[in-house]
């Protein structure tokens, strides 16, 4: 039974699939103190939150059983992602479900700013009739500067264009072609700052975007500019904004988010030009249902070991590439596991080479799988999420190579492992009708199915060696299912690969090591 702990209010309709699942127990506890959260998370296999719960490194460390953290929304700044990654916990979000709601909220802020609607409302319900004070401006023919043309920025641009605004957009990942398709003018940040009548930010809060709109930016803006932040507090420097309003540079500001939330009585609220909402961008019935459905589904997939798509701490793989790589995944992990079991000494370097058709694709997901296979031999609790992190943490150098040569195969995966005492290279291929095969161990050609119990014997090619090995296995009641011998020169170094029917007992390994012609015996379990 999987235990899913939900610590922020989520739409009941959205989490219905969790409530209905027979293999899931849902525990809903909101408004927990930090101490209560540390206690509750101990038994949870998954934690589901919105933006309120602070999922700190301490919470993650307390969640010894955690496999997944789901964020019902986009921003994951309330979750310590590096801490989750290092513990192999998948963090998933729901990036699409609240896009339209947040774009609509931003647009509502834009109109409210232009026409002083909140100020006019407050004055009117207080019994005043102050028509002169609240004269606004039209959006028609004005320039809207959008910083961050992702999902929300793009949706917003469509609404602005419908109101006949000119849209300037700055986003480092925006291409000219995409800008044209969306109908916006691609611009630099400087151009957005200097030419816009309204500026709105739609980026995540990162090192680069913190105080992106700062004192210097305000100084370069048009007089009477209006600014909006419905993304994250801190992208606009609040002190610099206050100064710019005081100087008369900024005619209005609309804020849905704050550097500290809740902001209490923020000094900016003393300016009549500032309008505010309490982080309401995604607060619609539709958005909350969408994000809860999306994230609950993702968490269910993770807990059940099924494919999922919106992991924040795993690179996303296009569906088409996923399809192409799927047949190679099991083999990749087995090859990694085989290579690490066959290697001797402390792991220092893993070099993965892809050749043939594989060399034409993005094989990074396979390298990650191979690394998991390799590291699982040395470390416990390795998974696809933390494998690269654990390798880096332990100083293991990981290199991926693409080679065009095929050596008679349509593709090959070669894993070379270097340790402090030696090296080994395992090469595998997926053979038509036969499935995965190890086709080379170091320089020896073999044909070994990477499955079950194997014995790798490195020996000297001498008459009788194979017979003596067979006899010792028989003496220990270990049956040989298949056997391969590889050598380069007559009487030189050689290998035997034996597929045996049961796990190899320690006593058998010791007996084999007594034979003069044997250099090394390794039991491999796949």
**Distance of closest approach, residue 74 Cβ to ligand AKG, in angstroms:** 4
Residues 193 to 252 in contact with ligand NAI, rule: CB under 6 A: 202-204, 208-209, 230-232
CA distance linking residue 179 with residue 168, whole number of Å: 9
Whether 39 sits among the annotated catalytic residues: the reply is: no
Kindly tell me which of 145 and 365 has the beta carbon lying closer to ligand NAI.
145
Kindly tell me which of 98 and 454 has the beta carbon lying closer to ligand NAI.
98
End-to-end CA distance of the chain: 28
305 near ligand NAI (CB under 6 A)? no
**Concatenated DSSP letters of 153-181:** HHHHHHHHHHTT-EEEEE-TT--HHHHHH
CA distance linking residue 317 with residue 364, whole number of Å: 10
For 442, residues 6+ apart whose C-beta sits below 8 A from its C-beta are 424, 425, 495
Kindly tell me which of 153 and 388 has the beta carbon lying closer to ligand NAI.
153
**Distance of closest approach, residue 87 Cβ to ligand AKG, in angstroms:** 23
Vertex 20, ends 48 and 2: CA angle to 5°? 50
**Distance of closest approach, residue 25 Cβ to ligand NAI, in angstroms:** 30
CA distance linking residue 336 with residue 504, whole number of Å: 20
CA distance linking residue 415 with residue 374, whole number of Å: 9
Q: Which stretch binds ligand NAI (CB under 6 A): 4-12, 167-175, 356-364, 391-399?
A: 167-175
Q: Quick count: other Cβ atoms within 10 Å of Cβ 220?
A: 11
**Distance of closest approach, residue 71 Cβ to ligand AKG, in angstroms:** 7
Regarding beta strands 225-229 and 250-255, do their DSSP bridges make them parallel or antiparallel, or are they unpaired? parallel
74 near ligand AKG (CB under 6 A)? yes
Site string for ligand NAI, 62-101 (x = CB under 6 A): -----------xxx-------------------x--xx--
**Distance of closest approach, residue 197 Cβ to ligand NAI, in angstroms:** 19
**Distance of closest approach, residue 245 Cβ to ligand NAI, in angstroms:** 21
Which one among 148, 234, 252, 436 touches ligand NAI, defined by CB under 6 A? 148
**Distance of closest approach, residue 256 Cβ to ligand AKG, in angstroms:** 9
For 134, residues 6+ apart whose C-beta sits below 8 A from its C-beta are 115, 116, 119, 120, 123
User: Are 44 and 299 in contact, with CB atoms under 8 Å apart?
Assistant: no
Residue from 232, 414, 416, 440 carrying the catalytic annotation: 232
Whether 279 sits among the annotated catalytic residues: the reply is: yes
Regarding beta strands 198-201 and 225-229, do their DSSP bridges make them parallel or antiparallel, or are they unpaired? parallel
Which one among 135, 173, 264, 265 touches ligand NAI, defined by CB under 6 A? 173
Tell me the number of residues near ligand AKG by CB under 6 A. Answer: 10
CA distance linking residue 430 with residue 447, whole number of Å: 11
Residue from 25, 259, 261, 349 carrying the catalytic annotation: 261
Kindly tell me which of 51 and 353 has the beta carbon lying closer to ligand AKG.
51
Whether 393 sits among the annotated catalytic residues: the reply is: no
Q: Which stretch binds ligand AKG (CB under 6 A): 58-66, 69-77, 156-164, 211-219?
A: 69-77
Of ligand NAI, ligand AKG, none, which one does residue 209 interact with (CB within 5 to 8 Å by kind)?
ligand NAI
CA distance linking residue 349 with residue 361, whole number of Å: 23
CA distance linking residue 299 with residue 313, whole number of Å: 14
Residue whose tokens read 């491999």:
524
User: Are 160 and 139 in contact, with CB atoms under 8 Å apart?
Assistant: yes
**Contact residues for ligand NAI (CB under 6 A)?**
73-75, 95, 98-99, 102, 147-153, 170-173, 202-204, 208-209, 230-232, 256-257, 279, 281-282
Give the interface with ligand AKG as residue ranges (CB under 6 A): 50-51, 73-75, 98, 279, 281-283
């Amino acid at each position: 039974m999987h235990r899913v702990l939900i610590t922020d209010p989520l739409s009941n309709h959205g989490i219905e699939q969790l409530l209905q699942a027979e293999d899931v127990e849902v525990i809903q506890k909101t408004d927990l103190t930090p101490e209560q959260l540390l206690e509750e998370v101990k038994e949870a296999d998954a934690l589901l939150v919105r933006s309120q719960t602070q999922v700190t490194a301490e919470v993650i460390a307390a969640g010894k059983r955690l496999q997944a953290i789901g964020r019902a929304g986009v921003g994951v700044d309330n979750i310590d992602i590096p801490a989750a990654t290092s513990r192999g916990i998948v963090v998933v979000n729901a990036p699409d479900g609240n896009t339209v709601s947040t774009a609509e909220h931003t647009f509502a802020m834009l109109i409210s700013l232009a026409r002083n609607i909140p100020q006019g409302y407050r004055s009117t319900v207080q019994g005043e009739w102050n028509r002169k004070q609240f004269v606004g401006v039209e959006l028609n023919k004005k320039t809207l500067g959008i910083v961050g043309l992702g999902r929300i920025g793009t949706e917003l641009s469509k609404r602005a264009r419908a109101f006949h605004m000119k849209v300037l957009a700055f986003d480092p990942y925006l291409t000219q072609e995409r800008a044209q398709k969306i109908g916006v003018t691609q611009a630099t940040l400087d151009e957005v700052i200097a030419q816009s009548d309204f500026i709105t930010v739609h980026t995540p809060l990162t090192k680069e975007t913190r105080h992106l709109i700062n004192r210097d930016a305000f100084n370069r803006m048009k007089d009477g500019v209006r600014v909006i932040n419905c993304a994250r507090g801190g992208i606009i420097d609040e002190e610099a904004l206050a100064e710019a309003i005081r100087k008369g540079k900024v005619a209005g500001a609309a804020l849905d988010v704050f550097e500290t939330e809740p902001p209490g009585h923020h000094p900016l609220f003393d300016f009549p030009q500032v309008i505010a909402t309490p982080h309401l961008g995604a607060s619609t019935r539709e958005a909350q249902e969408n994000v809860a459905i999306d994230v609950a589904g993702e968490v269910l997939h993770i807990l059940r070991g099924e494919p999922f798509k919106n992991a924040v701490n795993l690179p996303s793989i296009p569906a088409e590439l996923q399809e192409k790589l799927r047949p190679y995944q099991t083999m990749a992990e087995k090859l990694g596991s085989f290579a690490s079991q066959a290697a001797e000494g402390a792991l220092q370097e893993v070099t993965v080479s892809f050749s043939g058709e594989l060399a034409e694709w993005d094989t990074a997901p396979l390298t990650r799988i191979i690394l998991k296979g390799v590291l699982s031999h040395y470390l416990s609790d390795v998974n696809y999420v933390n494998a690269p992190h654990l390798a880096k943490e332990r100083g293991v150098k990981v290199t991926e190579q693409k080679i065009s040569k095929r050596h008679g195969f349509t593709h090959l995966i070669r894993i070379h492992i270097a340790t402090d005492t030696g090296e080994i290279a395992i090469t595998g291929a997926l053979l038509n009708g036969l499935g995965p095969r190890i086709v080379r161990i170091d320089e020896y050609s073999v044909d070994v199915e990477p499955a079950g119990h194997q014995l790798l014997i490195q020996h000297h090619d001498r008459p009788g060696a194979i017979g003596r090995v067979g006899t010792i296995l028989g003496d220990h009641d270990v049956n040989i299912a298949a056997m391969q011998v590889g050598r380069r020169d007559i009487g030189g170094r050689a290998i035997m690969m034996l597929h045996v029917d049961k796990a190899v007992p320690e006593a058998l390994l010791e007996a084999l090591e007594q034979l003069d012609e044997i250099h090394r015996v390794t039991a491999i379990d796949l």
